[in-house]
Each structure stands twice: as C-alpha cells, then as structure tokens.
C-alpha cells in the first residue's frame, strides 16, 4: 500500500514536472512563433521600389509608438495612417512635434537633396525613418509602410491575435514618370462625389498622382457653371434608357420622361480638389470642344451651326455632327466664360480641351464658318479646327495654364504650347514629340481599361476589344523608336475608363482593378526592374488588400484558356491549359460525369 502510494507520488511529481516543461516549451514556442523572421518574398510592394535591402529583425507597433513630424503639412499624411491602424489593430499611436526618444518612433525628416516625389525608407528594430524633399515623398513612404504591414491592416474592423510588425529594410525609391494618371468618364454615366473621393484614395495607394475627370460629353454636362445654368438644368439630364444597349437608345418610348443624370456643384468640385491635394493628386478637368458637346448644344442651341433644338442623347452618337460653331464669336465668348469658371475651381497646370472625333459636316456648309475661313485665310476645315484650338490655347495661356488635348488637335497644325494626349496608338505622341511638344501616352491597346479583360462570354459587358492584365503591365510610355531627346517630352501615361457600358461603382471598380496596379508599376518603376513573374507574385498580396478594402476587383486573370494543337501524322491532339500567371496551379479532371 505504501509502495503504491509512493509510486503514485513519484508519478504525480513527474507528471507535474513534465507538465511544467511542456508548458514552458509551449509558451516559448508561442512566443517565438509571434516573432516572424522575414524573407525577401514577404516584401510585396506595388509599384516595385527602385532599391530594396532586407536586414535582420523587425519593427513592431504598440501603444507606445509615436510619429514625429517635421512640418504641419505632414499631419494629414500621418493622421490617415494612424486612423487606419487604430481601426484594424486597436493601436492608437500619437503624433509628436519633437523627437523626444529614438526608440519606438516613426520619424519624418526633410531631405532637400532628394528629387521631387522621391523618398528614403529605413526601418530598424528601434525606429522607422522616412526622408523626403516634399509631402508627396512622405505620402509615398507611408504607402510603402502600409504595404509592409500585414494585409489585414486594410480591414474595416478590429483584427485580433495579430502582430503588427514590418521587416527591417532600407528602401530607396522615386518615380520614373511625373504623370501617372487615371481618367474617369463621369459624363456617359455619372459617378457621385463619394465614389470620386474613394478613387482618389485608391490612386494615392498606388502612388498615382493625376485624376483626369472627363466632365463633358454628348450624353451629359457634369459641372455647374453659374453663368449658364441650363448646362446643368438641361444638359445634365437625359431620358433614362438604361435597360437598353448603349447603341440602341435612339428609340422613342413613353417612359422617356423619366430622367437619368446628375452633376457636381461647384462646392462638390472644391471638395474633390481639396481632398485630392491632401493625397498629392492633381485633378485635371476636361471641357470638351469642339465636338462631344451635344449636351451643351441641347442647352444652348445657338452654339451650333444649325441653331436648332436637340435633345441630350441617351446613348451612342455617331457621327458627332452637333458641335460648336467656330464661325460665331458668341461660341468663344461662351467658352471663355465656361473655362474661366472651371479654372477658378481647378488649380491644375493643365486644362484638357478634348479635341477629338469632330465630324465637320456642318462647318463645310455653315455661312459663319465660311466667313471665318476667308477672314483667317484658311483653306480646309481641318485648319478651322486648328484655329479653334489655337484660339482657346491662347486664352488658357493668358490664365497661366497649359492646354492638353487628344491627338486630333494635331490636325491642321498644332497649337504652339499644346500638350498631346496620344490615344490612337503612339503615332500622335511620336509626331508631337518630334515637333518638340510634351506628350502623355495613353494608347488604347494598353491603357483603355473599358475593354474586356477576359473571355467575352463570362465577363460583364464592356467596350469591344481585349486588354488583359499582362498587356497593361507591358506598357511603356517611351516608344522604342524615340530618340533620347524625344523621350524627354514624354510626361508619362494614364489608364482611361470610358463609361458607355459602365454604369455602377461596382462595375467601375471591376474594370479598374487590378489593371491599375499594373499601370502604376508601368509608370513608376524603372523599366529594367519590371518582371511579370515577380509582379504576379506580389499581386497575390494586393488582391488580399483589395478584399480587405471592399474593392470589387476582377479575377479575370485567373480564368483558364486552352491552346489546342492537332498533329495529323502522329494522330494526336494536345491541349495546353493556362491563365495569365506564369506560376499557377491548374487542376483538371478527365472523363468526369459530374
């Protein structure tokens, strides 16, 4: 009995001792498991930085972490990060104006030796240092910090059991091009102010710096002009035929009294522009002329050659003949008034005037136009368009702004100081650069994100054409045929989302993302650093960020396509299955009855 009790005591003691050891190792292993050892593949920054060096160790955020600023203007940049970190982690870090400690801090340091928009990012176990010349550099440094954190950082609710650490790194970074943009067509379909503000956030996250708003087109005038209220009273509204295909909306129906439309008040525009400024984004307005203005002519018929009442079209218009009359001085009075109000709202250096797809049928027969041509010594109507653009440019220049237009402004002779936005391939940009003009490259084959990005039968409706993710990534604004001197005139490029077939915020997101990620790297990163396989790997983490942000991004790049080859001699058929990603796991079943 005694023997038995001693055995029990020994067993109990050993069991207790072993349980202590087990508990020690369990706690130790848990503690060790929370301290992640980072490897270079854990760094998935888009767009890819110029130079990245990974060092041992990590920096961990906690309730005692502080941000030290070097100027008051940096507070908005820091506050945006602080707010999101609090939402996802519960950690509420403070802002300090003085560097009271070198431990557990994020420090913003001004470095005038750096170039515009460049930044240096260094993290050690003790602190994070971001150096930049300007606020744009500090903003991009903070965007990099966000992408070094776990993807859960972007969540809209508290994420439990997370360690908020980043690897110790040294990052040297700057953009390749100064113009890195997205165009939103808010005329064909109207997108409200809140969606525009969200888009600004997302552009900043991708280190993009231009939002081009296509405010005017045949199907809607989207900006309040106080001197001409009919532009929005009449021009901003059309018969609601959203249930019909875009190109079949010329059918008259009893329900045409129901209206579709909307516009931005001048207060809305001021808010958009001010918010964009905090994100280092320039908002460039596009006020179309001389064509794509049926909405304006519907409001004020005297602006056209015919001076006849017309309606705002609900869908596709071709050819575009109801355009401004350049023979009437009243046309230029109107446009100068409009542009004056627009330039008072948009402080951007550039004012976009469109200039594309003008069918000059009525100019050829208009008595006012003929008289103007005789007076100005013009032989062809293309020269009349050139006269139109040059006259508008002179007015814009008088306000210390620069004119930018689609490549049709080359027709009949380019205005002296105009910048060309080349959309019909690279040709217009090449021609303009040869003549010494600045260009923004946005060829449709690479930059029109209104095109399909997957098989037509499984994708939501889009414009004809096909632009997969990998082709966007191949885009280079500097054409291989350019001389070094011509290449200096390339300001950069942009993605364009025309909205004939895009009517909702969700559909707009689907068309933009992830192609915007590919565009951002095409415009930011050095050409020698671009690698599709590497980008594809980093993009997987970006998808997680999009999901956390609630972005309706497209997964078309995962869709499987097949290449079939028939060998008659060997009597074989081979099928190659693939998607856009070079490293992917494709599984298939043969002879399945399911």
Active site residue 336: no
Active site residue 567: no
Q: Which of 217, 322, 356, 393 is the catalytic position?
A: 217
**Taking the chain, what is the end-to-end CA distance rounded to the nearest angstrom?**
68
DSSP-derived secondary structure letter, 466: E
Q: Can you point out the beta strands (E) in 392-447? A: 402-406, 419-422, 439-441
Q: Which of 134, 357, 445, 534 is the catalytic position?
A: 357
Q: What is the CA radius of gyration of the chain?
A: 29
Of 435, 546, 490, give the one whose Cα is nearest residue 202.
546
Backbone CA torsion sign across 396, 397, 398, 401: positive
Please say whether the beta carbons of 564 and 574 come within 8 A.
yes
- What does the alpha-carbon distance between residue 215 and residue 246 come to, in Å, rounded to a whole number? 19
DSSP secondary structure, 149-207, as one string: S-GGGG-SS---S---EEEEEEEEE--S-SEEEEEEE-SSS---HHHHHHHHHHHHHTT
325 Cβ partners below 8 Å, 6+ apart? Answer: 303, 304, 305, 331, 362, 363, 366, 368, 369
13 Cβ partners below 8 Å, 6+ apart? Answer: none
3-state secondary structure 57-92: EEEECCCCCEEECCCHHHHHHHHHHHHHHHHHHCCC
Burial (CB < 10 A; 0-12, 13-18, 19+), residue 41, is exposed
- What does the alpha-carbon distance between residue 283 and residue 350 come to, in Å, rounded to a whole number? 9
Cross-strand bridge partners of residue 352: 286, 404
Active site residue 311: no
Q: Which of 206, 214, 292, 479 is the catalytic position?
A: 292
Please say whether the beta carbons of 315 and 327 come within 8 A.
no
- What does the alpha-carbon distance between residue 54 and residue 41 come to, in Å, rounded to a whole number? 10
Give me the active site residues, please.
217, 292, 357
């Amino acid at each position: 009995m005694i023997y038995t009790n001693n055995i029990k005591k020994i067993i109990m003691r050993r069991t207790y001792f072993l349980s202590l050891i087990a508990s020690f190792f369990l706690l130790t292993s848990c503690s060790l498991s929370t301290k992640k050892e980072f490897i270079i593949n854990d760094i998935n920054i888009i767009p890819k930085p110029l130079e990245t060096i990974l060092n041992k160790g990590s920096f961990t955020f906690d309730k005692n972490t502080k941000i030290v600023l070097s100027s008051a203007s940096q507070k908005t940049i820091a506050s945006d990060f602080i707010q999101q970190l609090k939402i996802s982690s519960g950690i509420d870090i403070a802002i300090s104006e003085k560097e009271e400690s070198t431990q557990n801090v994020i420090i913003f340091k001004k470095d005038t030796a750096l170039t515009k928009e460049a930044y240096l990012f260094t993290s050690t176990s003790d602190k994070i240092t971001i150096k930049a010349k300007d606020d744009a550099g500090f903003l991009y440094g903070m965007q990099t910090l966000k992408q070094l954190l776990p993807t859960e950082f972007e969540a809209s609710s508290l994420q439990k059991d997370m360690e908020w650490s980043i690897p110790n790194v040294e990052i040297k970074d700057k953009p390749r091009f100064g113009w890195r943009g997205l165009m939103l067509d808010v005329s064909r379909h109207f997108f409200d102010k809140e969606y525009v503000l969200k888009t600004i956030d997302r552009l900043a996250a991708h280190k993009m710096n231009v939002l081009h708003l296509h405010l005017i087109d045949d199907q809607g005038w989207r900006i309040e002009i106080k001197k001409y209220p009919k532009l929005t009273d009449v021009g901003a509204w059309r018969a609601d035929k959203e249930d019909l295909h875009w190109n079949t909306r010329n059918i008259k129906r009893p329900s045409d009294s129901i209206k579709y439309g909307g516009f931005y008040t001048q207060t809305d525009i001021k808010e958009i522009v001010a918010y964009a400024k905090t994100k280092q984004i320039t908002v460039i307005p596009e006020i179309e002329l001389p064509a794509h203005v049926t909405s304006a002519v519907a409001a004020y018929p005297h602006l056209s050659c015919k001076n006849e009442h017309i309606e705002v079209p609900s869908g596709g218009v071709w050819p575009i003949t109801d355009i401004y009359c350049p023979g009437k001085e009243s046309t230029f009075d109107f446009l100068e008034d409009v542009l004056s109000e627009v330039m008072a709202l948009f402080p951007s250096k550039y004012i976009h005037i469109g200039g594309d797809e003008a069918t000059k049928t009525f100019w050829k027969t208009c008595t006012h136009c003929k008289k103007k041509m005789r007076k100005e010594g013009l032989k062809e109507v293309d020269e009349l368009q050139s006269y139109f653009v040059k006259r508008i440019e002179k007015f814009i220049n008088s306000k210390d702004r620069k004119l930018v237009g689609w490549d049709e402004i080359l027709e009949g002779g380019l205005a002296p100081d105009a910048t060309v936005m080349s959309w019909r391939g690279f040709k217009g940009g090449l021609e303009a650069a040869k003549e010494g003009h600045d260009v923004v490259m946005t060829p449709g084959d690479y930059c029109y994100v209104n095109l399909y990005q997957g098989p037509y039968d499984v994708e939501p409706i889009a414009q004809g054409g096909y632009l997969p993710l990998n082709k966007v990534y191949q885009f280079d604004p500097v054409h291989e045929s350019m001389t070094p001197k011509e290449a200096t005139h390339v300001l950069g490029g942009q993605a364009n989302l025309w909205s004939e077939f895009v009517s909702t915020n969700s559909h707009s997101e689907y068309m933009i993302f992830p192609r915007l990620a590919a565009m951002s790297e095409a415009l930011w990163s050095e050409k020698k650093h671009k690698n599709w396989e590497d980008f594809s790997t980093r993009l997987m983490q970006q998808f997680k960020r999009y999901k956390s942000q609630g972005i309706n991004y497209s997964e078309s790049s995962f869709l499987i396509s097949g290449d079939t080859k028939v060998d008659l001699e060997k009597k074989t058929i081979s099928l190659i299955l693939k998607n856009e990603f070079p490293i992917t796991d494709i599984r298939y079943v043969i002879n399945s009855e399911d």
